[in-house]
Structure 1
Amino acid sequence: MTRLAKMVGTSWRWLVGENGSARQILHHGFLVSAVLIGLFSAVFNYLMELTVPAYSVALAVISLMVMVMWYRSRFHGEFSRMSWLFCTLVTFVMLPGNWVFNHGASGPTLLFYLMAAAYVLGVLPPDRLRRGVIISGLMLMPWILLWGEMANPQLVSSYASTAMRSLDMGVSYTLAFGLLSLVIAGYAKRIREERDLARAYATKLERLSRLDSLTGLYNHRTIHEHAEHHLSGRDISCLLICDLDHFKQINDAHGHPYGDQVLAHFSMHIQTLSREYSGKAGRYGGEEFMILLPGNLAVAREFDRQLRESCEASPLAHGVIRFSTGVSERRHPDTLSSWVQRSDEALYHAKASGRDQLIVDHDISMV
């Protein structure tokens, strides 16, 4: 029994296309169900003599047409076109025909109109004109059919007996219940799909809100948060502030777009090296960058040396990117303000002492 259920589940997933969107899966499932229900109804109506034999033949032919629609949608990527054609066929051909040949208002057609409406609202592509035509048809067609039956009762067939009507309504209810279950499952999958998409967008927005749009490094607020985290720990760490040398002249000589390219290029070097050192890097403002490194001043000096070598190895149009660095090691009484200030003062001395060098805060001496 378990093996049979597994085979049925596998077959169903193949029929509806488990890798498609929720709308596509609902559409394919509804088409497959429409084919099965159409063929079953053709046989059922013929055996029970509920309608004329020609209607059973018409049901079988329409079921084959729907099977072709399923095939085109499932394997040829024609979901939008086939959903529109199927909705048109159901609204203006299949259900009106079912009304006429399956006992009008006394039969189950209104029930199937409701199922069709549930399907259409969840699947039909958001084309205003097409949606308007189909939804208007679903709203107005039953009224037209009711009026036509009232004006000309002889246009619709009648049940041979109350027992036959009860049997037809019972079977139709069961089929409609199956369709409704399928539609609800499709809506549930679509809700989950849209929820997951919303979560993915929220995660992406959260990540983007923490990054500088030009360089891809952490922005000012986020790098400060990481610095606060370093201050709350007990491990040794260093804070480096790097400032590009003569950046204004680069902008003036080559233009601001080129200046942005320089910032992005330098940020790439910082990002790559920071990851190797398990550090955090951010754009502190303008052409200034803040790097947080676990480890002592020797680690910070080695980081600075490798960063300069990396820049030397990949010069730009104006030449090698030169920069000055101020660094300080965290002290236990430090606040964020005092820690940043010591690195900033060291940077100021590096700039005042000729640039293109690293200065440590505790002795304000060139390294």
Structure 2
Amino acid sequence: MLVGHAETPAHRMHLVFLFAVAIGCFAGAALNYFGAITHLLYVAILTIFGLVVLAMWWHARRYEPAQRIAVIFCAGAVFAILPLNWIFNQGLDGPSLMILVVVAGYAFGALVIRPWQRVLLMACFVIVPSALIGADYLWPDWTPAYASRELQAIDAAVTYYICVALQFALISGFFRRFRSEQRLIQEYAEQLRESSRLDSLTGLLNHGAFYSALDAAISGEQQPRHHCALVLYDLDHFKRINDSRGHLYGDETLRRFARLLEDTARTFGATAGRCGGEEFAVLLRPASSSTVQAMDDALRARCAAQPLAHGVIRVSGGVAFSSADTTIRWMERADEALYTAKTRGRDRTLFDPVAAADPGAIAEPMHELQRRVAAGS
């Protein structure tokens, strides 16, 4: 009800502050009227100003021109209400400066303005009260005095509580803005961290992020039989595709294969990445030779089922199990198997003969290598 459909903390702060100012004006008018502190003309002016601020609040609540309304309010407070309050409410002896400090805090903290406008605003908050203080010093009798010390104390106390309420509205708004902006910063930082780990063309893990995954896989291995398999894929004849079909088609080929690879890897609980150029990689953990074989068959089936305009994407692959190697050596062994696959006809995936740590895990990759070599000869 109070803030309507305000969506930002800044807008809510404007609305709460304006509403609090309107209530403060009505409370001040009632105090001045029933306490006979000031002239009835000022009571009427204060009431009218409260109604104007209330209208500003209602308009800002519905249409959200909060920034412009804040500027109008600050201008009216500095050039109209402050001088009138000073004149009718006992000058230096009254609470005008207390109210001005609150309005200044709102103006400097809530308004998003240009530097020269901020300097101008600051000058207004210095020049206007300085002129009033100077006039009160030169002509002490130009403002009426309180009828009694009791009325002065009551006026000071009520004004102080009103100012505290306004300050509470401001500070609460500032904290909401701070928390909102902090959440946005954290979200942006998380997005930046995530984007720094991804390849811009394919959306897969980039070279550095994938190497970090390999490091973590090796350092996390405790049982020899729980192998991690590294599969390197290289698109066959990709340079020829780029040269004959153009780089746009080449990029589309990379994106399509990356999507198919990611879908396949997700099915097997694996991690996919792009190591550079037309070379991709998959990390399966834990994995056996049969798991790797099933994933490779699934990937090739997907490629065959979703050809591009100029044919099916064909790739060569090389597989190596970690065997507690270093990351670099692990990658080298997978790359050697990939190179062997390319030299023996491409469009196949071969296993590194020394990839697995136990003979039972080697037997099937070696058998598969022999089968694929025989098929390609």
**Same fold per superposition (TM over 0.5):** yes
Partner Cα distance (2:98, 2:370) in 1: 87
2:7 matched to which residue of 1? 20
Range 312-321 or range 100-109, more displaced: 312-321
Residues 19, 227 of structure 1: CA spacing in aligned structure 2 closer, same or farther, 3 A cutoff?
Answer: farther
Range 118-127 or range 39-48, more displaced: 118-127
Q: 5+ residue gaps in structure 2?
A: 354-365, 373-377
CA distances 1:199-233 after superposition (whole Å, capped 9, x unpaired): 22222222122212221111112111211222222
Q: CA deviation at 1:148?
A: 3.3
Q: CA deviation at 1:318?
A: 2.9
2:253 matched to which residue of 1? 262
| SS of the residue 1:290 aligns to | strand
1:44 aligns with 2:31: yes
1:10 matched to which residue of 2? none
| SS of the residue 2:2 aligns to | helix
Partner Cα distance (2:82, 2:282) in 1: 70
Partner Cα distance (1:313, 1:72) in 2: 60
1:63 aligns with 2:79: no
Runs of 4+ in 1 over 4 A off after TM superposition: 151-155
Q: CA deviation at 1:154?
A: 5.0
1:289 matched to which residue of 2? 280
Residues 286, 55 of structure 1: CA spacing in aligned structure 2 closer, same or farther, 3 A cutoff?
Answer: same
Partner Cα distance (2:262, 2:78) in 1: 60
1:6 matched to which residue of 2? none
Q: State whether residues 242 and 289 of structure 1, in contact with CA within 8 Å, keep that contact through their aligned partners in structure 2.
A: yes
CA distances 1:266-296 after superposition (whole Å, capped 9, x unpaired): 2111222222211111111111011001321
2:305 matched to which residue of 1? 313
Q: 5+ residue gaps in structure 1?
A: 1-13
| Selected match of 1:79 from 66, 73, 94 | 66
Q: CA deviation at 1:161?
A: 2.1
1:340 aligns with 2:331: yes
Residues 253, 156 of structure 1: CA spacing in aligned structure 2 closer, same or farther, 3 A cutoff?
Answer: farther
Partner Cα distance (2:10, 2:178) in 1: 11
- Greater C-alpha Rg: 2
| SS of the residue 2:316 aligns to | strand
| Selected match of 2:166 from 179, 187, 212 | 179
Q: CA deviation at 1:35?
A: 0.8
Residues 208, 318 of structure 1: CA spacing in aligned structure 2 closer, same or farther, 3 A cutoff?
Answer: same
| SS of the residue 1:325 aligns to | strand
Q: State whether residues 240 and 327 of structure 1, in contact with CA within 8 Å, keep that contact through their aligned partners in structure 2.
A: yes
Q: State whether residues 350 and 358 of structure 1, in contact with CA within 8 Å, keep that contact through their aligned partners in structure 2.
A: yes
2:270 matched to which residue of 1? 279
Letter in 2 for 1:310: R
| Selected match of 1:222 from 196, 201, 209 | 209
Q: State whether residues 23 and 122 of structure 1, in contact with CA within 8 Å, keep that contact through their aligned partners in structure 2.
A: no
1:137 aligns with 2:124: yes
1:248 aligns with 2:235: no
Root-mean-square deviation (CA, aligned residues, Å) is: 2.0
Letter in 2 for 1:325: G
Partner Cα distance (2:162, 2:349) in 1: 79
| SS of the residue 2:274 aligns to | strand
Q: State whether residues 31 and 155 of structure 2, in contact with CA within 8 Å, keep that contact through their aligned partners in structure 1.
A: no
Letter in 1 for 2:178: I
Q: State whether residues 5 and 62 of structure 2, in contact with CA within 8 Å, keep that contact through their aligned partners in structure 1.
A: no
Partner Cα distance (2:114, 2:146) in 1: 40
Letter in 2 for 1:357: R
TM-score, normalised with respect to structure 1:
0.90
CA distances 1:44-99 after superposition (whole Å, capped 9, x unpaired): 11111111112111111111111111112122121222222222222222222212
1:90 matched to which residue of 2? 77
Range 85-94 or range 49-58, more displaced: 85-94
Partner Cα distance (2:11, 2:122) in 1: 19
Partner Cα distance (2:88, 2:370) in 1: 99
Letter in 2 for 1:188: F
**Would you say how many aligned residue pairs link Structure 1 and Structure 2?**
353
Q: CA deviation at 1:340?
A: 1.4
Residues 346, 306 of structure 1: CA spacing in aligned structure 2 closer, same or farther, 3 A cutoff?
Answer: same
